[in-house]
Amino acid sequence: MAEAELHSIATWTEIGLAALTFVSLFFVTAPYGRHGRKGWGPEISQRLGWVLMELPACVLWLGIYFAGTHALELAPLALMALWQLHYVNRTFVFPFRIKAEGKTTPVSIVATAIVFNTLNAYVNARWVSELGSYPISWLYDARFVIGAVLFVAGFAINQHADQVLMNLRKPGETGYKIPHGGLYRFISCPNYFGEILEWTGWAIATWSLAGLAFALYTIANLAPRALKHHEWYRQKFADYPTSRRALIPFVV
């Protein structure tokens, strides 16, 4: 089988997984964080879980990227820098900044994420440095520029929103409070909103089915969870701001 065919199957598999995830998450909430519950098998520390889950998206991604024949060209390098801006933080910084003392995550969730991130690393890294075509002129193509701006804006929103959540707990605290400031004025989950903007930007900057597959998967994963978070906040806090939406300001 030619590699282009294998890559196409992998990419369509990812799109199929996005559809399956989207539908499933309306029936079963992923059991981690505030929605964590027993019955999902053995658990490990939440911090370790994050590092293990995200390693393929960061380290394996780099390995696949540098095996590509276009890896040292400027446009693929710029795309690689965007991807790694997100994943170096998510894998090696974020897990050590969250207030997660004593918190655990099911191994089944970690294993599922590792499988997905391995597939996604192949789909996106291989596309960027081998199967796609990004000459140097791509760096001033409107699709790259708009996509990169959207990606960086999404990254900034995601970082700020996660930072607000981290600041809510004093050292040793494990409970929940109402977040305020920034996009929390309008929505319950600006970290998810920022993440969705990032990968939508990635899909535009790479102008590829590979990038679109991951953007769709991110929406499929985070949109139902944002609705669950929003509902949870409204039930838990009687004084939760009524004008706040779940995921998209003034819309949803």
Kindly list the residues in this chain that would bind ligand NDP in the complex (CB under 6 A): 33-34, 98, 100, 103, 158, 162, 165, 168-169, 176-177, 179, 191-192, 195, 218, 221-222
Q: What separation in angstroms does the CA of 84 have from each of 15, 71, 92, 102?
A: 22, 14, 11, 29
User: Is the Cβ of residue 75 or residue 223 nearer to ligand NDP in the bound state?
Assistant: 223
Say if residues 129 and 80 touch (Cβ distance below 8 Å).
yes
Q: Rounded to the nearest whole angstrom, what is the least distance from the CB of residue 170 to ligand NDP in the complex?
A: 10
Which residue's CB is nearer to ligand NDP, number 137 or number 170?
A: 170
Task: Please answer whether residues 177 and 94 qualify as being in contact, where contact means their C-beta atoms are separated by less than 8 angstroms.
Answer: no
Amino acid at 55: L
For residues 32 and 9, give the distance between their C-alpha atoms in angstroms, rounded to a whole number: 30
Q: Nearer Cβ to ligand NDP, position 100 or 110?
A: 100
Minimum CB distance to ligand NDP, residue 137 (Å):
30
Nearest distance, CB of residue 126 and ligand NDP, angstroms? 19
Residue nearest to ligand NDP (CB): 33
| Shorter beta-carbon distance to ligand NDP: residue 76 or 179 | 179
Q: Tell me the closest approach of the beta carbon of residue 1 to ligand NDP, in angstroms.
A: 29
Q: How far apart are the first and last CA of the chain?
A: 44
**Of residues 145, 137, 163, the one with CA closest to residue 74:** 137
63, two tokens:
């390995």
Query: Which residues lie below 8 Å from residue 88, measured CB to CB, with a gap of 6+?
Result: 58
Shorter beta-carbon distance to ligand NDP: residue 75 or 210: 210
